[in-house]
Structure 1
Amino acid sequence: MNQPLAYVHPGAKIAKNVVIEPFTTIHNNVIIGEGTWIGSNVTIMEGARIGKNCNIFPGSVISAPPQDLKYQGEDTIVQIGDNVTIRECVTINKGTVDRMKTVIGNNCLIMAYCHIAHDCIVGNNCIFSNNSTLAGHISVGDYVVLAGMTAVHQFCAIGNHAFVTGGSLVRKDVPPYVKAAREPLSYVGINSVGLRRRGYTTEKIREIQNVYRILYQKNYNNSQAAEIIEAEMEATPERDEILQFIRDSQRGIMKGYFSAS
């Protein structure tokens, strides 16, 4: 690494085979893992922890202070996993005292102009399409796909394998394995295409569909539906994951299409 037109603070810990293009600035207290490529005009600020074999494209700003008036300069971080691609002009802010960190898992693709705010926890193998925006304190599971221009309200949760269609406003929690669409955001089916791509069998997909049929299409409230699902359906990891998500929801889960106004 020998880039006379890039600035790397002496206190940054950069693996030997990291490539840093000209006009990039890397601040103190930054760690970057092996094989990572940092494009030109990238700013990586204090507290960034970036894994191996990542690609960060021009204009991105990683680990800037949170856009939160309660932030008082506490020592927080952004933690980015391995094999993550961050496209042009993405902004990822570091944490506050709530979680002390913002986390992006492994093998994620964050497309151009996305914003991930303070204290968000994003799982592995996620894809956020262009201009998707996460407010603060959001939890996103593994294999979540946000189509372009999706905006997620602070403190929301999105479950594993969920797919949210483009232009959506996510104001409530999105359970695992579902497709979410329409306005207001509603359950419109299972993410069967994504599940098949990841090796889920037809029988397993049907089981997940049956869980959501009780939850969303039988006119039960969430508590009633959860009791029926637990009593009448065989215990499986997927069934239990859905039930736990419903019970843990802080903002309430999104409505079914038939109950959406």
Structure 2
Amino acid sequence: MSRIAATARIHSTAVVDEGAVIGDSVVIGPFCHVGPRVVLKDNVELISHAVVSGKTEIGKGCRIFPMAVIGGVSQSLHEAGEESTLVVGDNCTMREGVTMNTGTVGGGGKTVIGDNCLFLANCHVAHDCQLGSDIIMSNNVMLAGHVHVADKAILGGGCAVHQFTRIGRQAFIGGLSAVNYDVIPYGMLNGNPGLLGGLNVVGMTRAGVGRATIRVVRRAYKQIFEGEGNVRSNAAAIRDDYSDCSQVIEILDFIAAGGDRALSSPFRRKG
């Protein structure tokens, strides 16, 4: 049985399937479709011609623009109709044509989006992605399955991210870049194939990181990627020297954690 708040406003041409849960002051515009297992929390707005389907929860204050399809079945070749979910946090904006898929059983069964994220026109978030908060994805950004993006990362228009890739906190990905490997926190990546071009100094400054600290992080960055050993051994070797710099430790922890993909670096790979 549907639970529709008395303060919700639903256009006469919209379709809200039996079973949907609609919160206070939700606005569902013309020709929208809300599926039977959808939860729209308070103050969500579907402007028009938007589809929210699957077992999907949309957080408070989100806005979904025309032609967006949120909660669609995954495009994984292993999709077999198993139970899976999509959870979107509060105050996210999904502009025209954005698509977000539910998870897969093999990937944990859940796609998760944090709070205050902005998805510009025609972005795609595939199955089992895990996104933090305050992320900006410009037009036509494509995330393949199982991608992890940490808080405050910015992805430029048209960039494509390989499946299972990690993008660290406050990283910056240039437009049209191919992200084939993990990107460290505060890293700045450009090109195809994507190469690290240093640190996101502008973003760090805007976040209140002081110049002295940025110089320290730059020094550590050079030791990690330009040292005599490999990246992981270089990172491990300098940990004690930077124990009082949280930004460097964050980078070192990211490298030490590892993942399914190699690390992006400033150097083009051979072969």
TM category (shorter chain) comes to over 0.9
1:79 is paired with a residue whose SS is strand
Question: Pairwise mapping of residues 204-215 of structure 1 onto structure 2 (< 5 A)?
Answer: 204-215=213-224
5+ residue gaps, structure 1: none
1:78 is paired with a residue whose SS is strand
Given candidates 50, 58, 61, the residue that maps to 1:53 is 61
Q: Which residue of 2 aligns with 1:76?
A: 84
How much has 1:197 moved relative to structure 2?
1.1
1:89 is paired with a residue whose SS is coil
Bigger CA drift: 128-137 or 192-201? 192-201
2:238 is paired with a residue whose SS is helix
1:165 aligns with 2:165: no
CA distance in 2, matches of 1:2, 1:190: 47
Bigger CA drift: 176-185 or 44-53? 176-185
CA distance in 2, matches of 1:180, 1:109: 20
CA RMSD of superposed structures (Å): 1.4
How much has 1:192 moved relative to structure 2?
0.8
CA distance in 2, matches of 1:73, 1:223: 40
Q: Which residue of 1 aligns with 2:249?
A: 240
Q: 2:243 touches 2:249 (CA, 8 Å); kept in 1?
A: no
CA distance in 2, matches of 1:153, 1:49: 26
CA distance in 2, matches of 1:224, 1:25: 53
CA distance in 1, matches of 2:110, 2:141: 20
CA distance in 2, matches of 1:200, 1:131: 30
Q: 1:184 touches 1:260 (CA, 8 Å); kept in 2?
A: no
What TM-score do the two structures reach when normalised by structure 2?
0.92
CA distance in 1, matches of 2:39, 2:189: 37
Bigger CA drift: 224-233 or 89-98? 224-233
Q: 1:157 touches 1:249 (CA, 8 Å); kept in 2?
A: no
How much has 1:219 moved relative to structure 2?
4.1
Percent pairwise identity: 38
Q: 1:91 touches 1:114 (CA, 8 Å); kept in 2?
A: yes
Given candidates 185, 195, 210, the residue that maps to 1:201 is 210
1:191 aligns with 2:200: yes
CA distance in 2, matches of 1:234, 1:245: 15
1:67 aligns with 2:75: yes
CA distance in 2, matches of 1:40, 1:238: 43
CA distance in 2, matches of 1:63, 1:2: 20
- Structure 1: which amino acid aligns with 2:55? G
Question: Pairwise mapping of residues 1-261 of structure 1 onto structure 2 (< 5 A)?
Answer: 1-97=9-105, 98-250=107-259, 251-257=261-267
Bigger CA drift: 11-20 or 234-243? 234-243
Runs of 4+ residues over 3 Å off in structure 1: none
CA distance in 2, matches of 1:79, 1:204: 36
Q: 2:10 touches 2:29 (CA, 8 Å); kept in 1?
A: no
CA distance in 1, matches of 2:18, 2:243: 58
CA distance in 1, matches of 2:226, 2:136: 29
CA distance in 1, matches of 2:120, 2:269: 30
Deviation per CA, 1:221-256, whole angstroms, max 9, x where unpaired?
Answer: 113211322143334332222112112222110122
Deviation per CA, 1:145-168, whole angstroms, max 9, x where unpaired?
Answer: 000000000000000000000000
Q: What number of residue pairs does the alignment pair up?
A: 260
Q: 2:54 touches 2:102 (CA, 8 Å); kept in 1?
A: no
Q: 2:242 touches 2:249 (CA, 8 Å); kept in 1?
A: no
How much has 1:211 moved relative to structure 2?
1.6
Q: 1:37 touches 1:55 (CA, 8 Å); kept in 2?
A: yes
CA distance in 1, matches of 2:52, 2:232: 45
5+ residue gaps, structure 2: 1-8
